[in-house]
């Protein structure tokens, strides 16, 4: 199959994409977080094509994207008062809420669960596309299962060329890490940290909201995953990545001692002068939004340069930094060296 790329904010491109979606095909679309692999969430055959293109395990549910609050009814059977409150504060935007699932959706979307993850994206191109398709769109990140999520159309092509008919190009995704996933079935709990922080959610609800422990630790053997995505290998570059938690001077000493062919550092902007290994950069120290925007591109770069071993500077674990740390920790298969 030939894979076309068209600019997203173009009326002809949107019509073409909407026609493909209505015919049960899969189209890659930009969102403010990462690119998504979209299909009609009410069409089982279309949703199965997403799983095929990604090589995604069938028991890992997809997020459903809507373009206005009227569409929520066809996706979620009920939306508790707290969900409505959060929608007012954070939608359109990078927050996914897990709610009881409505009947009209394809069963494959939520992998047989009785719940569904739903979000109203802030990206204008995504919203215009959903509106034109006229149906809610199921869309996981547009990468092959296990790879870093794509934040540019070129990343999408690298994984999806020949597998889908169309990529809508909206340039680089401004947020750069996937949406915050918050379960509102039972006690509110953050299942995946993102740009909307647990601090902000707690403030909006007027009560503290929990973080799932799998955010910063591997699931124990036999432990049930509240979010199926927690079980799977994620964001894994070919290189063996280790997070080094320390001050900058100790980091440099640690890495410089290990300088060798194939050894790289993942560090913050303007730190490379002190390192005796080549560096990949991901934003400034303490600027967690910039780190989020750059991280997935940096993980892909590790493969492009053929890095074998990478020592990574650690982001802090507050606010958006927790989302960055959570992704990097998975890229490092939970290897952390505390100095």
Report the interface residues with ligand TXA, using CB under 6 A. 31, 33-34, 36, 60-63, 94, 96, 98, 110, 113, 115-117, 139-141, 178-179, 181, 191-192, 227-229
141 versus 314: smaller Cβ distance to ligand TXA: 141
121 versus 268: smaller Cβ distance to ligand TXA: 121
51 versus 251: smaller Cβ distance to ligand TXA: 51
90 versus 311: smaller Cβ distance to ligand TXA: 90
Residue 36 contacts which entry, Mg ion, ligand TXA, none (Cβ below 5-8 A, type-dependent)? ligand TXA
Name the pairing type of β-strands 189-192 and 180-183. Answer: antiparallel
Residue 314 contacts which entry, Mg ion, ligand TXA, none (Cβ below 5-8 A, type-dependent)? none
Q: Does 227 bind Mg ion (CB under 5 A)?
A: no
Residue 191 contacts which entry, Mg ion, ligand TXA, none (Cβ below 5-8 A, type-dependent)? ligand TXA
Among 31, 141, 151, 227, binds Mg ion (CB under 5 A): 141
Least distance from ligand TXA to the Cβ atom of residue 62, Å: 5
Residue 193 contacts which entry, Mg ion, ligand TXA, none (Cβ below 5-8 A, type-dependent)? none
Least distance from Mg ion to the Cβ atom of residue 159, Å: 11
Nearest residue by C-beta to ligand TXA? 229
Least distance from Mg ion to the Cβ atom of residue 23, Å: 25
Residue 98 contacts which entry, Mg ion, ligand TXA, none (Cβ below 5-8 A, type-dependent)? ligand TXA
Residue whose structure tokens are 């500077």: 313
Residue 309 contacts which entry, ligand TXA, Mg ion, none (Cβ below 5-8 A, type-dependent)? none
- Whole-Å CA distances, 305 to 162, 239, 263, 299, 317: 24, 10, 11, 10, 28
Cα–Cα distance for residue pair 188/83, rounded to 1 Å: 10
32 versus 244: smaller Cβ distance to ligand TXA: 32
Tokens of residue 193, six digits: 């940290």
177 versus 196: smaller Cβ distance to Mg ion: 177
Cα–Cα distance for residue pair 113/59, rounded to 1 Å: 9
Least distance from ligand TXA to the Cβ atom of residue 63, Å: 5
Least distance from ligand TXA to the Cβ atom of residue 268, Å: 24
Residue 61 contacts which entry, ligand TXA, Mg ion, none (Cβ below 5-8 A, type-dependent)? ligand TXA
205 versus 219: smaller Cβ distance to Mg ion: 219
Contacts with Mg ion, residue ranges (CB under 5 A): 141
């Amino acid at each position: 199959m030939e894979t076309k790329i068209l600019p997203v904010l173009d009326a002809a491109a949107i019509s073409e994409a909407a026609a493909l979606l209505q015919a049960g095909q899969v189209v890659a679309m930009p969102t403010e977080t990462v690119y998504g692999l979209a299909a009609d969430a009410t069409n089982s055959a279309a949703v199965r094509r997403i799983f095929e293109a990604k090589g995604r395990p069938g028991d890992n549910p997809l997020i459903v994207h809507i373009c206005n609050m009227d569409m929520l009814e066809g996706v979620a059977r009920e939306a508790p008062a707290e969900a409505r409150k959060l929608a007012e504060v954070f939608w359109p935007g990078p927050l996914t809420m897990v709610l009881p699932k409505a009947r009209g959706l394809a069963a494959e979307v939520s992998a047989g669960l009785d719940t569904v993850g739903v979000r109203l994206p802030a990206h204008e191109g995504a919203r215009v596309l959903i509106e034109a398709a006229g149906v809610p769109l199921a869309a996981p990140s547009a990468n092959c299962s296990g790879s870093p999520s794509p934040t540019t159309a070129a990343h999408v092509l690298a994984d999806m060329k020949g597998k889908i008919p169309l990529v809508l190009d909206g340039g680089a995704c401004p947020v750069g890490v996937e949406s915050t996933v918050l379960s509102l079935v039972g006690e509110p709990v953050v299942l995946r940290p993102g740009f909307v922080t647990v601090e902000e959610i707690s403030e909006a609800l007027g009560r503290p909201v929990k973080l799932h422990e799998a955010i910063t630790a591997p699931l124990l053997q036999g432990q049930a995953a509240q979010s199926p995505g927690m079980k799977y290998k994620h964001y894994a570059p070919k290189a063996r990545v280790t997070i080094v938690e320390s001050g900058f001077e100790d980091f440099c000493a640690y890495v410089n001692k290990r300088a060798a062919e194939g050894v790289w550092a993942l560090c913050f902007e303007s730190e490379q002068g002190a390192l005796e290994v080549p560096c990949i950069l991901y934003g400034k120290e303490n600027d967690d939004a910039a780190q989020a925007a750059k991280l997935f591109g940096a993980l892909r770069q590790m493969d492009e340069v053929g890095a074998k071993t990478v020592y990574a500077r650690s982001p802090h674990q507050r606010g958006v930094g927790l989302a960055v740390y959570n992704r990097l920790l998975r890229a490092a298969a939970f290897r952390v060296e505390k100095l």
